[in-house]
Amino acid sequence: MFSVPTLIVNEAQCKANIKFMAKKAAANNVVFRPHFKTHQDIRIGEWFRNESVNCITVSSVRMAILFADNGWKDITIAFPLNFHEIDSINELAAIINLNIIITNEESIDFLKTNLKTKTGVFIETDCGYHRTGVDVEKTEVFKKMITEICKIENCRFKGLLAHFGNTYSVTGKQQVLDIYSQSLKKLNKLKDGLKNEYENILISIGDTPSCSLTDSFEGVDEIRPGNFAFYDVQQLFIGSCVQEQIALYLLCPVVDVFPERDEIVVYGGAVHLSKDSAMLNNERIFGLTARWNGKKRGCIIPDSFVKSLSQEHGIIKMPKTEIAKIKPGDFIAVLPTHSCLTASEMKHNYCFV
Amino acid sequence: MFSVPTLIVNEAQCKANIKFMAKKAAANNVVFRPHFKTHQDIRIGEWFRNESVNCITVSSVRMAILFADNGWKDITIAFPLNFHEIDSINELAAIINLNIIITNEESIDFLKTNLKTKTGVFIETDCGYHRTGVDVEKTEVFKKMITEICKIENCRFKGLLAHFGNTYSVTGKQQVLDIYSQSLKKLNKLKDGLKNEYENILISIGDTPSCSLTDSFEGVDEIRPGNFAFYDVQQLFIGSCVQEQIALYLLCPVVDVFPERDEIVVYGGAVHLSKDSAMLNNERIFGLTARWNGKKRGCIIPDSFVKSLSQEHGIIKMPKTEIAKIKPGDFIAVLPTHSCLTASEMKHNYCFV
């Protein structure tokens, strides 16, 4: 049935992950605007629709067009405005409810003369991750930017959008929740400083660790997690999920077995898994492993991990007792370190089981 | 003209890189069988044809089919035999001169009953890289394997194929050449131990650092470098090339500028560049940078590098004096750490300049 590295989605588990987050959002009365950059698949999009999701997040204009073509009518492009795609943005905003994000004053100047269609605008707010966004402490800069945005006929100012991406570099529920609560406190302080002049400022947040682990979305209007649909080894190590929740894996043919090195070699390399990594006992690893019974993966094999990746080769460390059961031609399931990137490497060609 | 991250090939430089290696092979009287996994492009394949190349290397059956469909008649699949693709191998070997590589005795047993068409067979030989292949010291294992291979009607035993991949983890010409000469010495010692019983054993080697830096291919019959067509930052740091020879880069729109952090943010992330990295002053980096004049990239900007990559974002460190010249909407050229993987991320969609 399978002959080359194949990307498997456990459909029941993925649907359960989606249902869990949809219910949590509904119970907390926040808008659920899941990030579709993780799966980028119109069939998985339907699984979200079945949970009453009708607004989504993407990270490129190309993805927005893909999902708009599939009937999604309310899309936020959560990536800083790329001036060179303004024509596509104008076209898209004419047919759907489109939101873009702005991270600097140059972008506002650009929109003044180039935005031709009514578009929602968020200001990306940096609460400590320091990737993009305006520093959350700079209330006066926000005031100036919002004032300018509100002057532009085609801009509808929506609110403050943040990504607490620093939760990806910690481990443990408490550390995630500390970042979440501190970042959210800063965001709401900023909102308080703005609310006398500007009404209805939405707070949109979105990282999978926070959304998975918090019990309270107080002070939040909208959540945008994406990775949780699949989860992965990075999220497992952070503590955002348990291993049963990891719904995506790469099925790899074994091509060589080295009992004397405690290693096997699989067809499944950097172009299939991506070179993103996670740290395990001070070692950089590229995935965990599980057996495959012809239909489903088993539990994670203890003391086994992907040690290195070439373009097409994966080198897997494994205890001798496990290696003794494996021969060339068998299949091994590799749980990716970062499912979003593995899905991208595999061009979002999924096999649903 | 450009609106999203775009993969640029400097056509003149790429052709010069190809010509350089083709001439070197010819001058040393070795077969030049370049690895096409790097570019995977039929147009670039023509540039090799123009240098009289007529036999090539690939790393998957899929790639072999791609190039066979484009008229290449002599192809080695330099990846351990994947049992599950035997039908495609049999079909391909019926129409072209196909070589496969064997790394273990199980594969020979498999071929006995499953190889239906005449196919060349190399034994992959591990000279110290420890990825795949039979340990070069185990002469008796080779004898047993070659004997068994020669008994199979459809197998034509060709020789010993090795990849000195450990040259990728050193820096400096001397270190590369030390690995090259030591590995080659072991290979030829093995060949000497076999030559009384088996004639015409070919020695095929292939890493870009060795092939770029050695002046002598004595003891070698065939070379299979691939990366040298583009080169990249890893090769620059090893010392295999100079910066002018790097013929591939990703053109990225600037979306934000942070003078206070000495950083700019570009549209160009892990899904464009890959998360492969190189070490610079003990820091893990994901690319180097150059200015773009609308037609060509400039020299590498000193003290500037890609510090981190998210799915679509690239965070670039840059001196203030450079940042002062950059604004959102500009383009920056990013020289990839590993051009093979960047080309794969970009689905081998090249723009030739």
Domains of chain B in sequence order: 33-226 (3.20.20.10), 243-352 (2.40.37.20)
Q: What is the pLDDT of residue A323?
A: 97
Could you give the percent of chain B with pLDDT greater than 90?
99
Whether residue A253 and residue B132 make contact (CB cut-off 8 A), yes or no, is no
Question: For residue B109, what is the nearest residue in chain A, using CA coordinates?
Answer: A328
A332/chain B closest Cα distance in angstroms: 13
CA distance B114 to B120: 14
A 184-223 near B (Cβ less than 8 A): none
Nearest CB partner across the interface for B311, out of A37, A255, A328: A37
Residue A259 with chain B: CB contacts under 8 Å: none
The 10s digit of each residue's pLDDT in B229-264 is 999 999 999 999 999 999 999 999 999 999 999 999
Tell me the average pLDDT across B80-99: 98
B119/chain A closest Cα distance in angstroms: 19
What angle do helix axes B61-69 and B42-49 make, rounded to 10 degrees? Answer: 70
Whether residue A328 and residue B59 make contact (CB cut-off 8 A), yes or no, is no
Whether residue B345 and residue A345 make contact (CB cut-off 8 A), yes or no, is yes
Q: Is B197 exposed, middle or buried (0-12, 13-18, 19+ CB in 10 A)?
A: exposed
Residue B130 with chain A: CB contacts under 8 Å: 261
Of B56, B120, B111, B69, give the one whose Cα is nearest residue B93: B120
Of A274, A229, A226, A225, give the one whose Cα is nearest residue A250: A274
Q: What is the pLDDT of residue A285?
A: 98
Nearest CB partner across the interface for A270, out of B62, B267, B276: B276
Compute the half-sphere exposure of residue B207: CA atoms within 13 Å on the CB side of its CA.
27
Whether residue A253 and residue B83 make contact (CB cut-off 8 A), yes or no, is yes
CA torsion, points B167, B170, B172, B177, in degrees to nearest 10?
-30
A 290-309 near B (Cβ less than 8 A): 308
CA torsion, points A115, A118, A124, A125, in degrees to nearest 10?
120
Chain centroid, CA B87 distance in Å: 26
Q: What is the pLDDT of residue B283?
A: 96
Nearest CB partner across the interface for A270, out of B80, B256, B341: B341
Could you give the percent of chain B with pLDDT greater than 70?
100
Q: What is the pLDDT of residue A1?
A: 80
A 116-135 near B (Cβ less than 8 A): 130-132
Is the CB of residue B137 less than 8 Å away from at least one CB of chain A?
no
Q: What is the pLDDT of residue B1?
A: 80
Which region holds residue B117: left if phi is over 0, alpha if psi is between -120 and 50, else beta?
beta
Tell me the average pLDDT across A221-232: 98
The sign one gets for the Cα dihedral B220, B221, B224, B230 is positive
Is the CB of residue B265 less than 8 Å away from at least one CB of chain A?
yes
Q: How much is the pTM?
A: 0.97
Whether this model's ipTM surpasses 0.85 comes out as yes
B255/chain A closest Cα distance in angstroms: 6
Nearest CB partner across the interface for A311, out of B267, B308, B340: B340
Size of interface A-B (CB pairs under 8 A): 146
A278/chain B closest Cα distance in angstroms: 12
Given pLDDT bands bounded at 50, 70 and 90, which one contains residue A277? very high
Tell me the average pLDDT across A47-74: 98
For all residues of chain B together, what is the average pLDDT?
A: 97
Residue B59 with chain A: CB contacts under 8 Å: 311-312
Whether residue B313 and residue A131 make contact (CB cut-off 8 A), yes or no, is yes
Residue B62 with chain A: CB contacts under 8 Å: 4
Tell me the average pLDDT across B307-336: 98
The 10s digit of each residue's pLDDT in A161-194 is 999 999 999 999 999 999 999 999 999 999 999 9
Question: For residue A134, what is the nearest residue in chain B, using CA coordinates?
Answer: B258
Nearest CB partner across the interface for B341, out of A81, A256, A275: A275
Whether residue A270 and residue B104 make contact (CB cut-off 8 A), yes or no, is no
Q: What is the DSSP string of A142-198?
A: HHHHHHHHHHSTTEEEEEEE---GGGGG--SHHHHHHHHHHHHHHHHHHHHHHTTT-
Radius of gyration of chain A (CA): 22
Is the CB of residue A83 less than 8 Å away from at least one CB of chain B?
yes
Tell me the average pLDDT across A111-135: 97
Whether residue A79 and residue B255 make contact (CB cut-off 8 A), yes or no, is yes
Whether residue A83 and residue B131 make contact (CB cut-off 8 A), yes or no, is no
